Structure 1
Amino acid sequence: MKLNKRLLATGVLAASLVATQAWGAVSSEEAAKLGDSLTPMGAEKAGNGGDIPAWTGGLTTPPANYKGDGIYVNPFPDETPKFTIDQSNVSEYKDKLSPGQVAMIKQYPDYKMPVYETHRTAAYPQGIMDETVENATKTELIKDGNGLDNYQDATPFPIPQNGLEVVWNHITRYRGGSVQRNIGQATPTASGAYSIVKFQDELTYRNYLTDYEPGKDPNVLFYFKQAITAPARLAGNVLLVHETIDQVKEPRRAWVYNAGQRRVRRAPQVAYDGPGTASDGMRTSDNLDMFNGAPDRYNWELLGKKEMYIPYNSYKLVDRDLSYDEIIKPGHINQDLTRYELHRVWHVRATLKEGERHIYAQRDFYFDEDSWQAAVVDHYDGRGELWRVAEAQAMQFYDKVLPWYAVETLYDLLSGRYLVLGLTNEETNPYQFGVDRQSRDYTPAALRRAGTR
């Protein structure tokens, strides 16, 4: 499937026109819609008069059987699919699917999308919502859109005026302030053979450090550390990232510790289309979290809002009674364990700027309006062919009042392979929020201390 060259040209033109306009803060009159006709995060509060209900605050109370241990139980255990989209009926629903979703159904006879009742579970802490409302009239994109001015925590642009603002909402969204997680990643062959790479990730936003000093390192958004814990041949390798906001002014700071060599070195390749950690070439660095890092290599066109079937409330995929063998199948994950719901999404098209380089010439993003998380991303190669399809199986972390991902998948339509990241079913202590970290924990010297061999 080829990208539309006419739309591509239109997108470049639109981006050039937007570049001459002021970006960011809206008027106080416009911002007054937040908490009224819009949710505090900027979504339409009302339903659609049909399958999409009104937003009433999201899911903020854990189910009675949740033990508070980071092992999330399904709050909708008795629900069954309303219908299933597969090869027999995909043409009836393609207006509410991405081209990549349609391609997956057409390519794999056993690929299906079970559609459930829609629950608008996304919610954030009150402080985050309050700061988002404040950002609406204050935060602006700096020149060329590569950074933020007058930005505090939370979502910078709850009433976005262009595609780049929507992308910044995804990049900066709240994920708990300080969190550690133990997860698995697999890159199955076309026949389904796989091995698990296990990570211990840490993510700490600058102002959640216990020794945080206002005004220190102001261009850093968060600190990220990723240690490989298995298999043995990779265990002990550690990645450290200082995620800068304006990465054109100051590129992402990244270092890796190689356990075999017992040395720390700078890692400028951990950006853009550099290879993702232990991914067997199945994802780029900026594929993690559906998209991360500097947006400067693309023009970003806001194509509007639409209704779409996206992965949502995917609690089945974190069920502790499941093994990885039950999830990982040839060609794609076990779709019987997925859950799709009808939600409103922002559609943003990224097209590679003239003179820039990236393996993806175009990326079409579909962002959930309630959470600002990317739900589906279609990736096109330099020939204009649909190449990879990413889906984020979202869920609400109800005890911490934040949306995030159960797992991320990235399907390669050409090779028949895929990557699945974020598996926790067989992991100990999958999520720990509120971990205490100081700035010294995220220094190159800390990498050496973190080495296990």
Structure 2
Amino acid sequence: MNTTALLRFNFAIVIALMANSVQAAVSSVEAAKLGNTLTPIGAEKAGNADGSIAPWTGGLAKNAGEVGANGALSDPFNSEKPLFTITAQNAAQYQEKLTPGQLAMLKRYPGSYRMQVYPSHRSASLPDSVYKAIANNAINTHLISGGNGLDSFDMATPFPIPQSGLEVVWNHLTRYRGGSVRRTHVQATPLADGTFMPVYFDQQFTYRDQLKDFDPKNPGNVLFYYKQLVTAPARLAGDVVLVHETLDQVKEPRMAWVYNAGQRRVRRAPQIAYDGPYPASDGQRVADNLDMFNGAPDRYDWKLMGKKEIYIPYNNYKLDSPQLQYNDVVKAGHLNADFTRYELHRVWVVEAALKPGERHLYAKRVIYVDEDTWQIVLADHYDARNTLWRVAEGFMTPIYDRQIPWLGVEALYDLINGRYIVSGLRNEEKNPMEIGFKALGADYTPAALRSAGIR
């Protein structure tokens, strides 16, 4: 081997070792913290110094409340009163525990936007089988393809003890959501005066291990399958979106199709990714805004900023109440503040900066990830001028009888045009949510779209 070749060989080894040191799973000694000083999902088990955040003791019991006829859970904290309310007038007093997006919303809507802060409850819990998978992931799962995929991953939460911002993002993308879920829900994109036309959806998703024909020896590259049917209004009824969400989106980008009922045709939909317009959203949301953030993370550099105590949306059973109508919840500028609930929790803070040469409507994003669930609960979005543009809130409502941390309602507010989009509303829906159903891979093929979308 000549000198040049030897130098290249040694350089390749150094690069490989550096990559492994950055992207390796944690040691067994570190992983042993799970279930001890850390919760089984990787949060700090202890409370905070002044007791305003309690220790985690296992989350809500499965019988913490009752299940209504429409599947709505009763509020275990219904008798509680707010500790205090944050308004535009007193925001400075609490600003250390508020995000720039929350402060901007208080300033934008000084007469109506407010945050009722309640006692904090660490209510999230997961099944033991998921905790076991997470423990295995801690010592086995690695980032691959420059951080855009996972290797040796099982079920949920690959990095319960994250070493980077990208690992935190992957924990959100793969968090446990019940394996498979069918639900009906409503979306609204109110005008600045609060008027809106509800859009009704039948939605379902199935993680790969919930397929009847799943082969664990050959899991493939698809993480989950997603299908969304619009049932009303008439101008949109019958349109269907189908997504195959891949684990390694560099090796195999997300596959998406749409069925247009008016044209009666199925076509590929590569625009349902990144900042492509999301169907039926009236221009108020791009594709990767859904679920607070979804899809490939490759266009951003994700910087882990550490942990912080923040007032975040949590235990929002009141917002999900079947005693309310959509007109009660959806108001001008933002959701009705009478029905939202905030608690003090610890969050991971991750800042995403658009990579040089990449394109996206959002030049910067800052996400706030609940330590007990790995769910993004708040997100701030900045435009190319570094101006805060859109603010997202994810209203955590754990499904305690099934041990599923759940993002029930999510809202994305546009600070500039005064509009917003809210999805996940179920207040007036009569069909209970179906969790844990088994599906076939054939249920999520382009060929199945046409029959799903018949009006």
Scaled by the length of structure 1, the TM-score of the pair is 0.94
Two-structure CA RMSD over aligned residues (Å): 1.3
Query: What SS does structure 2 have at the residue aligned with 1:166?
Result: helix
Residue 164 (structure 2) aligns with: 162
Aligned-residue sequence identity (percent) comes to 60
Cα deviation for residue 88 of structure 1 reads 1.6
Q: Equivalents in 1 of 2:189, 2:179: separation in Å?
A: 29
1:434 aligns with one of 421, 433, 436 = 436
> Is residue 2:102 matched to residue 1:101?
yes
Verify the 8 A CA contact 1:282 1:419 in the aligned structure 2: yes
Residue 242 (structure 1) aligns with: 244
Q: Equivalents in 2 of 1:367, 1:22: separation in Å?
A: 22
Runs of 4+ in 1 over 4 A off after TM superposition: 18-21
Residue 38 (structure 1) aligns with: 38
Residue 337 (structure 1) aligns with: 339
The letter of the residue matching 2:103 is V
> Is residue 2:375 matched to residue 1:376?
no
Instruction: Report the CA distance shift for 1:19/1:89 in structure 2 as closer, same or farther (over 3 A).
Output: farther
Q: Equivalents in 2 of 1:139, 1:307: separation in Å?
A: 28
Residue 53 (structure 1) aligns with: 54
Q: Equivalents in 2 of 1:68, 1:133: separation in Å?
A: 36
Q: Equivalents in 1 of 2:268, 2:31: separation in Å?
A: 43
Q: Equivalents in 2 of 1:83, 1:157: separation in Å?
A: 35
Alpha-carbon deviations, 1:85-139, whole Å to 9, x = none?
0012100111111100000001102110000000000111110011101111110
Cα deviation for residue 154 of structure 1 reads 1.6
Alpha-carbon deviations, 1:272-321, whole Å to 9, x = none?
00111200110011000000000000000000001000000000111001
Q: How does 1:20-419 map to 2 (within 5 A)?
A: 21-49=21-49, 50-67=51-68, 70-109=71-110, 110-216=112-218, 218-419=220-421
Q: Equivalents in 2 of 1:116, 1:410: separation in Å?
A: 23
The letter of the residue matching 2:177 is R
Cα deviation for residue 178 of structure 1 reads 1.0
Query: What SS does structure 1 have at the residue aligned with 2:171?
Result: helix
The letter of the residue matching 1:235 is A
Query: What SS does structure 1 have at the residue aligned with 2:402?
Result: coil
* The structure with more radius of gyration: 2
The letter of the residue matching 2:373 is S
Deviates more, 1:429-438 or 1:253-262: 429-438
Query: What SS does structure 2 have at the residue aligned with 1:70?
Result: coil
Residue 4 (structure 2) aligns with: none
Scaled by the length of structure 2, the TM-score of the pair is 0.94
Deviates more, 1:37-46 or 1:71-80: 71-80
Alpha-carbon deviations, 1:184-235, whole Å to 9, x = none?
0000011111000111111101110112222445110000000001101101
Q: Equivalents in 1 of 2:248, 2:314: separation in Å?
A: 31
Verify the 8 A CA contact 2:156 2:175 in the aligned structure 1: yes
Verify the 8 A CA contact 1:315 1:406 in the aligned structure 2: no
User: Which sections of structure 1, spanning at least 5 residues, go unmatched?
Assistant: 1-17
Q: Equivalents in 1 of 2:70, 2:92: separation in Å?
A: 43
Aligned length: 436
Cα deviation for residue 59 of structure 1 reads 1.0
Verify the 8 A CA contact 1:68 1:399 in the aligned structure 2: no
Q: Equivalents in 1 of 2:434, 2:116: separation in Å?
A: 31
Q: Equivalents in 2 of 1:396, 1:450: separation in Å?
A: 30
Instruction: Report the CA distance shift for 1:132/1:68 in structure 2 as closer, same or farther (over 3 A).
Output: farther
The letter of the residue matching 1:85 is I
Residue 6 (structure 2) aligns with: none
Q: Equivalents in 1 of 2:65, 2:283: separation in Å?
A: 42
Verify the 8 A CA contact 2:377 2:393 in the aligned structure 1: yes
Verify the 8 A CA contact 1:317 1:406 in the aligned structure 2: no
Alpha-carbon deviations, 1:44-97, whole Å to 9, x = none?
000013200000000132334324752121111111100000012100111111
Query: What SS does structure 2 have at the residue aligned with 1:105?
Result: helix
Q: Equivalents in 2 of 1:279, 1:19: separation in Å?
A: 40
The letter of the residue matching 2:254 is R
Verify the 8 A CA contact 2:106 2:113 in the aligned structure 1: yes
The letter of the residue matching 1:32 is A
Q: Equivalents in 1 of 2:95, 2:279: separation in Å?
A: 34
Verify the 8 A CA contact 2:149 2:248 in the aligned structure 1: yes
Instruction: Report the CA distance shift for 1:443/1:149 in structure 2 as closer, same or farther (over 3 A).
Output: same
User: Which sections of structure 2, spanning at least 5 residues, go unmatched?
Assistant: 1-17
Cα deviation for residue 21 of structure 1 reads 4.5
Instruction: Report the CA distance shift for 1:91/1:99 in structure 2 as closer, same or farther (over 3 A).
Output: same
Verify the 8 A CA contact 2:70 2:430 in the aligned structure 1: no
Q: Equivalents in 1 of 2:20, 2:100: separation in Å?
A: 31
Q: Equivalents in 2 of 1:436, 1:138: separation in Å?
A: 27
Q: Equivalents in 2 of 1:204, 1:420: separation in Å?
A: 23
Query: What SS does structure 1 have at the residue aligned with 2:105?
Result: helix
The letter of the residue matching 1:86 is T
